[in-house]
Amino acid sequence: MRNNLIVLIDSSTKREHGKYGESTIAWAAWWNQVKGTPLRAELIYLKKEGPNKAFYDGVIRILQSCWYICHPEDKLTIYGDCKIVINHINNENPSGTELMPFYRQVKKIEQNYRCPVKYKYIPRGDPKYSKIDNLVKRGRGLFRNLKI
């Protein structure tokens, strides 16, 4: 039986000067359906980054974290709302951009996978996406207020 590892990813950047600022990325993974507690998840904070690079950072971390749980008969589907990056990874416009080093890193990590990896755009209003969207926005505030 083929299993589908479904991953939802979102990023949020509070721009300070131009296109860079505090960014958070959240992702969570489930087998076969987005229901119940995820099997893996991560919340990432970046002090100063752009939204597309932050999203790519999240995709890279998903690939690094999930490769060894996917078997050849499985598939991995990553859903995100960053259309620019999703299209870029899907080779719709991969050249001539500052995102090329990230694109190359994704493709290099994908070579470790024994199963197909797919990237799909999901609109922000999708009900199953709203929880990951809320988490990423709340996460930035949690990190900002972290005092040790």
Residue 97's domain is classified under what CATH number?
3.30.420.10
Residue 145 clears pLDDT 80, i.e. is over it: no
Q: Is-contact 133 10, C-beta < 8 A?
A: yes
Task: Give the structural domain span for 49.
Answer: 4-144
Round to whole Å and give the CA distance between 111 and 75.
Answer: 14
Q: What is the mean pLDDT of residues 24-44?
A: 93
**pLDDT-derived band of residue 105, with 50, 70 and 90 as boundaries?**
very high
Q: Is-contact 125 82, C-beta < 8 A?
A: no
Residue 1 clears pLDDT 70, i.e. is over it: no
Cα angle: 126, vertex 74, 119; to 5 degrees: 40
Q: What is the mean pLDDT of the chain?
A: 89
Two structure tokens written together for 130: 């709203």
Scored b (16 or more CB within 10 A) or e, 84-122 reads bbbebbeeeeeeeeebeebbebbeebeeebebebebeeb
**pLDDT-derived band of residue 130, with 50, 70 and 90 as boundaries?**
confident
Residue 30 clears pLDDT 80, i.e. is over it: yes
Backbone angles phi, psi at 115, to 5 degrees: -125, 165
Round to whole Å and give the CA distance between 137 and 124.
Answer: 13
pLDDT tens digits for range 52-88 = 999 999 999 999 999 989 999 999 999 999 999 999 9
pLDDT tens digits for range 82-95 = 999 999 999 866 66
Q: How far is CA 22 from CA 16, 63, 64, 82, 105, in A?
A: 8, 23, 23, 17, 23
Residue 103 clears pLDDT 90, i.e. is over it: yes
Total domain count, the chain = 1
> pTM score > 0.85 for this model?
yes
The residue among 42 and 15 whose pLDDT is bigger is 42
**pLDDT-derived band of residue 97, with 50, 70 and 90 as boundaries?**
confident
Round to whole Å and give the CA distance between 50 and 80.
Answer: 16
Two structure tokens written together for 52: 């597309």
Two structure tokens written together for 136: 């990423």
Residue 6 clears pLDDT 80, i.e. is over it: yes
